[in-house]
């Protein structure tokens, strides 16, 4: 992961504008799931490292823009770039990282450039779907699934496909693995928003519902409530919840065993991911799935 970070630094130094580096100094490094995945499939090579660095740049750019859209003040336990340096800086830094990533992609084999640029279009559409779904109280699980597929799973799927191409393995099977892992990953993220605390999450807990995001657990909760309960839940949508309201929601989650039901769904997608690559018996890829389900941040 250090080699990837070094390459990202090299890319950014080439831009020759100090504020870019200063702002990025403030950003806490992420888990680099997409790179770990790609390398676990492809093995190490110079080309693989370059692809990883561009994917991480794109991922980081998307988070900078996402924090502006979600008006998030915290990311990975530190102030988000928009809250530390202002929206205009965060917006432009996102554009710079994203454009530099595309410049680097244009230097690569077109196969990789095609897969990744297509993924970025979809992830942007996914974010737009998220924004639009947040306008109203969405109870349609299919719409939620399509949104998280585009917003999150597509770039993970693309990473897995690039890894497979590099290794001369079946792109379709590994794409299926990445897609299902990505869906499970976002579902876990949505469950942790409810289950986690600010310290481990690095962002406030139960923020999704306030932001208008009716995630999988809330969809299941809504389905399980009677008319009175449905009304009650809807009345809390997009509001700054007080302690009593949070207790009411958490009690309903417990009584109806909603988080358990949501985790069963995550495990279903995790199983699909592992099944897709069963014949390759790659233990590292199985471990990535397991670590992702067990994570608490
Ligand atoms: C996090 O979702 C957001 C994403 C995974 C994708 C964001 C994509 C864009 C903003 C499109 C623009 C793309 C580029 C490359 C400039 P979340 O809000 O559910 O997760 P969080 O809790 O980590 O914020
Ligand atoms: Mg967000």
Backbone angles phi, psi at 108, to 5 degrees: -100, 175
Query: Residues 6 or more apart from 164 whose CB is under 8 A from it?
Result: 41, 42, 170, 171, 173, 174, 175
Mutate to test the pocket of ligand 1, among 60, 93, 117, 151 (most ligand atoms within 8 A of CB): 151
| Any atom of ligand 1 within 6 Å of the Cβ of 156 | no
DSSP per-residue string spanning 135-204: TS----HHHHHHHHIIIIIHHHHHHHHHHHHHHT--HHHHHHHHHHHHHHHHHHHHHHHHH--HHHHSS-
Distance in Å, CA 172 to ligand 2 centroid: 29
C-alpha distances in Å from residue 279, one per residue of 186, 206, 268, 274, 275: 26, 40, 19, 10, 8
Please give the model's pTM, rounded to 2 decimal places. 0.95
Ligand 1 atom closest to the CA of 124, numbered from 1: 11
> Nearest 5°: phi and psi at 30?
-95, -170
Residue identifier of the C-alpha nearest atom 17 of ligand 1 = 66
- Total domains in the chain come to 1
Low-confidence ranges of the chain (pLDDT < 50): none
Residues with CB in 5 Å of ion ligand 2: 66, 70
Which ligand is in closest contact with the Cα of 99? 1
Looking at the chain, list the stretches that DSSP marks H as alpha helix, in order from N- to C-terminal side: 2-13, 18-25, 33-42, 46-69, 81-85, 87-106, 110-133, 141-148, 154-167, 171-195, 198-201, 216-224, 227-236, 243-255, 258-276, 283-294
Q: With a 6 A CB cut-off, is 124 part of the ligand 1 pocket?
A: yes
What is residue 127's predicted lDDT score, i.e. its pLDDT?
98
Interval between CA 126 and ligand 2 midpoint (Å): 12
* Residue 281 pLDDT: 83
Give me the pLDDT at residue 288, please: 93
Domain that holds residue 250: 2-293
| Closest listed ligand to the CA of 92 | 1
For residue 11, what pLDDT is reported?
A: 96
pLDDT for the residue numbered 59: 97
Rounded distance between C-alpha atoms, residue 161 and residue 41, angstroms: 9
Tokens of 164: 């497979």
Distance from the CA of 73 to the center of ligand 2, in angstroms? 10
Q: What CATH code is carried by the domain that includes residue 265?
A: 1.10.600.10
Q: Is the CB of 62 under 6 A from ligand 1?
A: yes
Q: CA-CA distance, 158 to 114, in Å (whole number)?
A: 10
User: For the segment 60-70, what is each residue's pLDDT rounded down to a tens digit?
Assistant: 999 999 999 99
Which ligand sits closest to the CA of 124? Answer: 1
Residues 250-263 have pLDDT tens digits of 999 999 999 999 99
The pLDDT score that the predictor gives to residue 297 is 65
What tokens does 207 get?
Answer: 């923020």
Ligand 1 atom 4: residue of nearest CA: 151
- Phi, psi angles (nearest 5°) of residue 212: 95, 10
Confidence (pLDDT) at 290: 92
| CB-count burial class (<10 Å; 0-12, 13-18, 19+) for 261 | middle
The response to whether residue 60 sits with its C-beta less than 6 Å from ligand 1 reads no
Using only the alpha carbons of the chain, give its radius of gyration.
Answer: 19
């Amino acid at each position: 992961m250090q080699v990837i970070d070094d390459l990202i630094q090299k890319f950014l130094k080439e831009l020759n504008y100090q504020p870019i580096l200063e702002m990025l100094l403030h950003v806490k490094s992420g888990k680099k799931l997409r790179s770990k995945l790609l390398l676990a499939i492809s093995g190490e090579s110079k080309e693989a490292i370059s692809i990883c660095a561009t994917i991480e740049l794109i991922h980081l750019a998307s988070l900078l823009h996402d924090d502006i859209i979600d008006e998030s003040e915290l990311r990975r336990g530190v102030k988000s770039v928009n809250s530390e340096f202002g929206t205009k800086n965060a917006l432009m830094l996102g554009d710079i990282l994203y454009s530099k990533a595309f410049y680097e992609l244009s230097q690569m084999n077109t196969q990789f450039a095609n897969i990744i640029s297509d993924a970025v279009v979809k992830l942007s559409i996914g974010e737009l779907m998220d924004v639009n779904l947040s306008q109203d109280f969405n109870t349609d699980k299919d719409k939620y699934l399509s949104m998280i597929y585009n917003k999150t799973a597509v770039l993970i799927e693309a990473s897995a496909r690039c890894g497979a191409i590099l290794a001369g393995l079946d792109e379709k099977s590994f794409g299926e693995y990445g897609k299902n892992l990505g869906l499970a990953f976002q579902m876990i993220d949505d469950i942790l928003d409810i289950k986690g605390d600010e310290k481990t999450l690095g962002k406030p807990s139960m923020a999704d519902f306030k932001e208008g995001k009716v995630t999988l657990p809330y969809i299941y909760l809504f389905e399980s409530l009677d008319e009175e309960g449905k009304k009650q839940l809807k009345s809390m949508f997009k509001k700054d919840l007080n302690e009593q309201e949070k207790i009411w929601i958490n009690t309903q989650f417990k009584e109806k065993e909603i988080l358990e039901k949501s985790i069963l769904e995550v495990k279903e997608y995790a199983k699909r991911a592992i099944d897709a690559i069963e014949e390759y018996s790659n233990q590292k890829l199985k471990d990535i799935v397991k670590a992702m389900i067990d994570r608490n941040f």
